[in-house]
Structure 1
Amino acid sequence: MLNPVHLRTLVEVVKTGSFAEAARRLGYTSSAVSQQISAFERAVGVTLFEREAHSIRPASAALLIADRGAELLAAFDGFEHEVKAMVQGLRGRLRIGTFPTASSRVVPRALARLTAELPGAEIRLDEGEPEYVLPLVLTGELDLALVYAYDLVPRTWPEELTVRPLLDEALLVMVPERHPAAKSTLRLEDLRDERWIASRDGTSGATCLTRLCASAGFAPRIAFRSNDYEVVQSLVAAGVGVALVPALGYKALSGTHAMPLRSTPLWRHVHVVHRTANTNPLLRDAVNALHQVCENAVGEYITPP
């Protein structure tokens, strides 16, 4: 019979790539981790790691077991917590993932509703871009997550997920207040020679900007990068460049002017996702709270989906 303690150790070793680092995270000695892995190998009847003088390399069997094992351990942890909550008279636990701009504009009000309606529930929050939180939803480490997709950077959703639209936000071009392009009939071509401020290379926001400019016949000259839209807007206010900012990340800032593209309006679409098989009874409450908050968030640059 497989030992769940040994399974957890194997998952951590694969994740960290090191017996020593896995031992540090789990609170074991390196020797104890090595012994647990050896016991696991005897139980399954196959060598799981290639051991070298100063490194280890997981075999394909170890990768497969770790992938499935992480999901099983997350489900077991959730079940264990539900049992404890039942015994202690609590209402359960909900683990939410979100991206930074939703963290400031949407999630706080949704959490306020949830904590008022479910005072006994334990709610945990994790923050990251969709590429970070989506795998955590799939493995069961998060119950649900807020994610986004740009018009020019569409996403495909794993079939295990239920995906519900929450809101659509316009993409706004931000320029310094006295910039010649600060007019209602802005054309992207007017910004061909500008320095741009973008999110980090490889992000959906940066890819959207590159594709948008390519459609207008030029490549953006990116001078600065930041995933913090407050930093991006401060750089625009300082006059060092222009930027493309989603409405949830936009705050009216002195010294700047923001407007959507009139000829080709673009949107970022916000969704809430969860595993269809997730039976957490708090999911419905959380999704309802998010929908109610997003309905009230509708404004000049934010619309229902």
Structure 2
Amino acid sequence: MDVHPQLLRALRAVLETGSLTAASERLGFTQSALSKQIASLETAAGVQLLRRGPRGVEPTEAGHRLAARAASILDQYDAAQRELDDLATPVGGRVALGGFPTTAMRLVPRTIARVRAEHPSVEVDFLESSTPVQIRRLRAGRLDLALLSSGEGLPGWDLTGIEVERLPSGPLLLAVGRRHRLARAERVAVADLADEDWIAGRGARGEPQFGAWPTLSRPRVVAELGDWSTRLGFVAAGIGVTTVPGLAAGALPEGVFCVEVDDPQWTGRELLLAWIGALAGPAAAVRAGLRKEASNR
């Protein structure tokens, strides 16, 4: 099967977002153009890849299998392009750092500012994505360093051949609005959260999202929103509460307060810094900056 890489990107975007509309917005195409790309891919493959279901577009078994292959193909394609770009324009002191969204709220920008101040010749390119995407990018050579989330409620990531270092991350916290009954509390029992309205995260299928407290059996979710600023805006307005990692505690908007939760059933998650091979020069400087900022929260 000889197809343009864009057709594979189109399929992967549809599967990750669950709809042609969301996928077209992500890729910057009209929905009609994206539909034509999928049709071209189905023609080349000789099988149906997608079908419309009650919750949007659903992949066929062939669609699932091709998308799994596409992820690996596209990662290798991007790695080859990056190597060619490096030959044409040596990156010198450039470091590619990846992190999941909440690392971008405080830890990553403060680290970049620190590195710029201490090492003006080092440039940091930040790529925000989920942990599984970062692991793929790290293996494909698209990242030099990656901040990963690991622990309870998450899959057991395959980190074979990847070096990891644990960084301080703080506990999972409850975020409430200024008028909420718990806004001035320093600590609450998990049982006190049973009747709360929750604002949950919404992202690509299979990706973990912050939202209701993880050990509550039947939380009442009143909204699912994809963007952190939107979620926290709903919290500030008193529409509901949500969970935030300790990493984000110092970057919450005005009108949102954090409360610690006593929950003996929750063992928590870890923040991992990952890389492949030996670290030296610019990458080592960025690693040192991350360690300092993670410890200075």
TM-score by length of 2: 0.66
1:102-181 equivalences under 5 Å are: 102-116=103-117, 118-153=119-154, 155-181=156-182
SS at match of 1:261: strand
Question: CA–CA distance in 1 between the matches of 2:263 and 2:66?
Answer: 53
Match of 2:53 in 1: none
Change (3 A) 1:160 1:237: same
1:1-305 equivalences under 5 Å are: 11-16=5-10, 49-51=44-46, 70=74, 72-85=76-89, 91-116=92-117, 118-153=119-154, 155-181=156-182, 183-184=185-186, 186-200=188-202, 203-206=207-210, 209=212, 211-214=214-217, 219-250=218-249, 251=251, 256-264=256-264, 267-274=268-275, 276-277=276-277, 282-297=282-297
Unaligned 5+ residue runs, structure 1? Answer: 1-6, 26-48, 298-305
Change (3 A) 1:92 1:245: closer
Contact 1:107 1:290 (8 Å CA) reproduced? yes
Contact 1:236 1:243 (8 Å CA) reproduced? yes
Match of 1:45 in 2: none
Q: RMSD of the alignment, in Å? A: 4.2
Question: CA–CA distance in 2 between the matches of 1:279 and 1:72?
Answer: 22
Shift of 1:189: 1.9
- Select between 287-296 and 149-158 the one with higher mean Cα deviation: 149-158
Contact 2:210 2:244 (8 Å CA) reproduced? no
Q: Percent identity?
A: 23
Read off the aligned partner of 1:14 and give its amino acid letter: L
Task: Report the structure number with the largest CA radius of gyration.
Answer: 1
Unaligned 5+ residue runs, structure 2? Answer: 13-23, 30-43, 51-59
Question: CA–CA distance in 2 between the matches of 1:59 and 1:223?
Answer: 32
Change (3 A) 1:77 1:282: farther
Change (3 A) 1:50 1:134: same
Count of residues in correspondence between the two structures = 255
TM-score by length of 1: 0.64
